[in-house]
Amino acid sequence: MNYTLKNDQLSVIVDTFGAEMYSIQHDDIEYLWQADPKFWGRHAPVLFPIVGKLKNGQYHYNEQTYQMGGHGFARDNDFELIKKSD
């Protein structure tokens, strides 16, 4: 689901999938890549908590081993809008 946030200067569109910004506009000029699938189908993914890949796709914390894909988990999860105000 997309949400639009606006004020008198900017308009921003954010998708709940990956909390990814789809658009940033000022004076009807678009400043964000518009995801042409011919080249790259994403706009501005959130890379969290890592950028890149982990060795063997794993990290260790408190004597436990965890799996994590490239660029973390945020970009491929659904987020929920908690509050939106004017």
Determine the structural domain holding residue 29 and report its residue range: 2-34+45-76
The verdict on residue 40 lying in a domain is no
**Residue 62 has what DSSP assignment?**
T
Q: Answer yes or no: is 39 within a domain.
A: no
Helix (H) or strand (E) segment spanning residue 61: strand 58-61
Q: How many domains does the structure of the chain reveal?
A: 1
For 24-83, write each residue's pLDDT tens digit: 999 999 999 999 999 999 999 999 999 999 999 999 999 999 999 999 999 999 999 999
For 11-40, what is the HEC assignment?
Answer: EEEEECECCEEEEEEECCEECCCCCCCCCC
